Amino acid sequence: MKNKIAVEEAVGMTLAHDLTKVIPGQYKGVPFPRGHVICEEDIPRLLDMGKRYIYVLELLEGEIHEEDAARRIATAVAGPGMELEGPKEGRINLKTRSFGLLKLNSDLVEEINMIDDVVLSTLSNHAVCPEGTMVAGTKIVPLYTKEEHIRRVEELCRQQGTAVDVVPFEKKKIGVVITGSEVFEGRIKDKFGDIIASKVEPFGSEIIRKKIVPDDVAVIGQAIEDMHAAGSNVIVACGGLSVDPDDVTQEGVAASGAAIISYGSPVLPGAMFLYGELKGIPILGAPACVLYDKATVFDLVLPLVLAGEPVERRDIARMGEGGLCLRCPHCTFPVCPFGK
């Protein structure tokens, strides 16, 4: 229960919640935190903030204050890769303990947000997150709520597991097969090798072998088999994935004995992307757009693979939602493909 008291009559009383001050475009902060005891000198400042009344809070049985609610929600939803920060203005933030891939239980996040008064806001699933990234924030909407709402969150997490966590990236050995007779014959210089290296190395992985091959199905297939035999944890096949008759990388991947999980993706740029597996080893077919576009479907799938996450055709199909890259001039990739 909360009682409304005029600020002029509130001297000596304790604030039940943070009071936020906003100066448009300049400042947003908490000059009067929860627990502050109001004194005479505070009254003009409170009136300047538009605070003519304050609340004195008396919780009844079965009610819970916003800060206590936020702590319990955050504790319930957070996986072991998360650390908690706050509360501030009734909110607890979740930050990553290590560099990794954000792993959400999206259905659980939605179910939690269907509970009255509860807010759980996150970054997009599978975001690449440096250590210390704030990936989620949680609070309740009112100053206090029924404890049964918070118990419902805790019960859902006991049943379904954590809602928010980070999966650390694994150090992978990368084998790269670069296709194209024009590159093999020395007519043009290879550009794929350096680009793929620049994409995998920030994750702690390294290219252990690179081979340039002509547009020949059998040769491509043998090169992929050789990469597997050399101990590659991930194989990248570059180029030769368009509709041109000379582009036979898809056939070459199949000739290696690999299963092609998906050829084509609903992500632009990157419609000609290929994903396959050879004896459990992922094969990523990098289309030509990787040569000139800063972020493509390759940059959405690569973090999943380097975090050891399984990739199925449906996972790639789901990338169609949000999969239109606007080639923003201020793009901060690789932190955020396609974070807009």
Place of tokens 């570059």: 238
Domains of the chain, first to last: 2-57 (3.90.105.10), 63-167 (3.90.1170.30), 173-318 (3.40.980.10)
Contact yes or no for 240/247 (Cβ under 8 A): yes
Helix axes 106-113, 147-160, angle to 10 degrees: 170
**Chain segment 26-52, per-residue pLDDT in tens:** 888 888 888 788 889 888 888 988 889
By C-alpha distance, which of 166, 131, 101 is closest to 306?
101
Element (H, E) at 86: strand 82-88
Rounded distance between C-alpha atoms, residue 259 and residue 125, angstroms: 27
**Chain segment 232-284, per-residue pLDDT in tens:** 999 999 999 999 999 999 999 999 999 999 999 999 999 999 999 999 999 99
**Chain segment 181-220, per-residue pLDDT in tens:** 999 999 999 999 999 999 999 999 999 999 999 999 999 9
Rounded distance between C-alpha atoms, residue 109 and residue 119, angstroms: 9
Rounded distance between C-alpha atoms, residue 208 and residue 174, angstroms: 6
**Chain segment 149-179, per-residue pLDDT in tens:** 999 999 999 999 999 999 999 999 999 999 9
Handedness of CA 149, 150, 156, 158 (dihedral sign): negative
pTM of the predicted model as reported, rounded to 2 decimal places? 0.84
